[in-house]
Amino acid sequence: MNNAHTAWSIAAIAVYFAMMLLLGYLAYRRTRNLDDYMLGGRRLHPAVAALSAGAADMSGWLLMGLPGALYLTGLVEAWMSIGLTIGVWCNWYFVAPRLRAYTEVAGDAITIPTFFDRRFGQGNHSLRVAAGVIILVFFTFYVSSGMTASGTFMHATFGLDAWWGILIVAGVTLVYTFFGGFLGATWTDVAQGLLMLAALVVVPIMTVVKMGGWSVVVDTLTTLDRAEGTDHFSFVVGSSAAAIISAAAWGLGYFGQPHIIVRFMALRSVQSATFGRRVGIVWMVLISIGACAAGLIGRAFFIDHPLADQETVFLALSQALFHPFVAGLVLSAVLAAIMSTLSSQLVVCSSALVEDLLLLFKKGGLTKPQGLWAGRIGVLAVAIIAAILALTAQDTILALVAFAWAGFGAAFGPIVLLSLYWRRLTRPGALAGMVAGAITVVVWGKSALSGVLYEIVPGFLVCLLVAVAVSLATAAPSATVIAEFDRAKALTQRQ
């Protein structure tokens, strides 16, 4: 990238940063207490919730890792995207309306650990503490992956040292999250989600037009496959059944991702979940197709000059097709994918520290200003720890994401589903299943078995089986807990 191109790209990214900070400031003006800071006062429009949930979900792998994988081997790498798309629809259909209703019925819970605690009525707080600790452990790695990605991006794009990339990207994200809280993360997520969508729709279409049509792309790849003995249009060639299952199983993780399902809790009504589902699945389908298409089309576009790093295919296409300023906006879309996930994770980590741990043991609670600033300090503390981990991390970005995604999916996913759909679930059953799922992910993930089957699969099954077995072996829930379950169910049936 020459000096002129660099200047235009920096200008575009500066405009993007300024917009994010402005949205954070506007959210700051709307944030008055801890409930606002953690959940936005339960007043999210369903379209806002859907775009925010989608953007919070998709990190840098969407615009770099996924197109790069398809550039290299073809549609066989699309199974992760297929599994995630199915998972998004199931999450909105099965979890969103019931979680929105039940968290309000269960003492107006504003975090997942608090919901788990109040779901079972009076009792000790071991379940809430365990959930809070699991969030802090796995999210610290997850936040670290986002910071690592920001350092890698800035180094690859502008030649900056990784720590400068972390300081700049994480710094801007931290500012609007620190002051704006949940609303700051949500509003910026919407802008970032729309930017990602625009980039993933426009870049593949413009590339096809530049090449002379889709038939040219197909003919080029077909010729390449014949020469190399590959098949870019096959969903199975070059893979195994276990690998396909592992990739598609990423969709299981959605049920337990706190930074995603917290958007369901913030919906303005149970009924709005239906519209949110429609917006969310359309967004997900479009960006998945766009990311996969960018990889395939990029392989054909660069047929005569193969890229040294396949993960830069999306960026290389934008630089080849557009004015440097527009290409800079596409670069901003990559940053948007990183920052939208990062900000949402910081808010959830802060809520675990303050709402689920500090307030649990703080007699007399906190005043509104104290609670608000405790949340902000929690965001800052997690960001500092994650940044230190990012600077010393040995694992790849995808490895960090995969570990955290599996941890939440296995520890929380079955418990969320059982809490919403099974009256007989007990507090000991939920606690035992949650811990068993988390331990399974850690043990399986650190063993040679992780190379055979993604750890979310055994972790999810172990959590589910242990939770059911222990619940059946312990005393049934009280009549009060059953009545509360039925009230939440009735609220969702009226939508």
Residue spans of the domains in the chain: they are 3-394
State which H helix or E strand residue 322 sits in: none
pLDDT over 90 at 56, yes or no: no
Question: 479 or 310: whose pLDDT is higher?
Answer: 479
Strand blocks (E) in 153-293: none
CB neighbourhood size of 225 (10 A)? 16
Cα-Cα-Cα-Cα torsion 176, 178, 181, 186, nearest 10 degrees, comes to 30
What's the burial of 163, exposed, middle or buried (CB within 10 Å: 0-12/13-18/19+)?
A: middle
CA 8 distance to own-chain centroid: 30
Task: Give residues with Cβ within 8 angstroms of 104, minimum separation 6.
Answer: 42
Cα-Cα-Cα-Cα torsion 103, 106, 112, 117, nearest 10 degrees, comes to -170
Identify the pLDDT of residue 338. Answer: 82
How far is 70 from 245, CA to CA, in rounded Å?
18
Identify the pLDDT of residue 157. Answer: 76
Cβ–Cβ under 8 Å, residues 428 and 123: no
In angstroms, the Cα distances linking 434 to 125, 142, 278, 437 are: 14, 19, 31, 5
Cβ–Cβ under 8 Å, residues 418 and 426: no
* The pair of three-digit structure tokens given for residue 244, joined into one six-digit string: 């396909």
Gyration radius (Cα) of the chain, Å: 22
How far is 347 from 379, CA to CA, in rounded Å?
6
Q: How do residues 118-153 score in pLDDT, each as one tens digit?
A: 999 877 888 988 998 898 888 877 777 778 778 877
How far is 246 from 460, CA to CA, in rounded Å?
12
pLDDT over 60 at 494, yes or no: no
Residue linked to tokens 């902000």: 376
* The pair of three-digit structure tokens given for residue 204, joined into one six-digit string: 């593949």
Fold classification of 3-394 (topology level) = Sodium/glucose cotransporter (1.20.1730)
Residue linked to tokens 């893979």: 239
Cβ–Cβ under 8 Å, residues 290 and 65: no
**Residue type at position 459:** G
* The pair of three-digit structure tokens given for residue 175, joined into one six-digit string: 């500012």
Cβ–Cβ under 8 Å, residues 5 and 318: no
Sign of CA dihedral 355, 360, 361, 367: positive
How sure is the predictor about 364, in pLDDT bands with cuts at 50, 70 and 90?
Answer: low
How sure is the predictor about 333, in pLDDT bands with cuts at 50, 70 and 90?
Answer: confident
In angstroms, the Cα distances linking 488 to 78, 123, 421, 495 are: 37, 20, 10, 12
Phi, psi of 267 (to 5 degrees): -60, 145
Percent of the chain with pLDDT over 70: 92
Phi, psi of 139 (to 5 degrees): -75, -25
* The pair of three-digit structure tokens given for residue 405, joined into one six-digit string: 């995604």
How far is 243 from 393, CA to CA, in rounded Å?
26
Residue linked to tokens 């109040």: 118
Average predicted confidence (pLDDT) for the chain: 86
First to last CA, the chain: 54
How sure is the predictor about 1, in pLDDT bands with cuts at 50, 70 and 90?
Answer: low
How far is 171 from 192, CA to CA, in rounded Å?
17
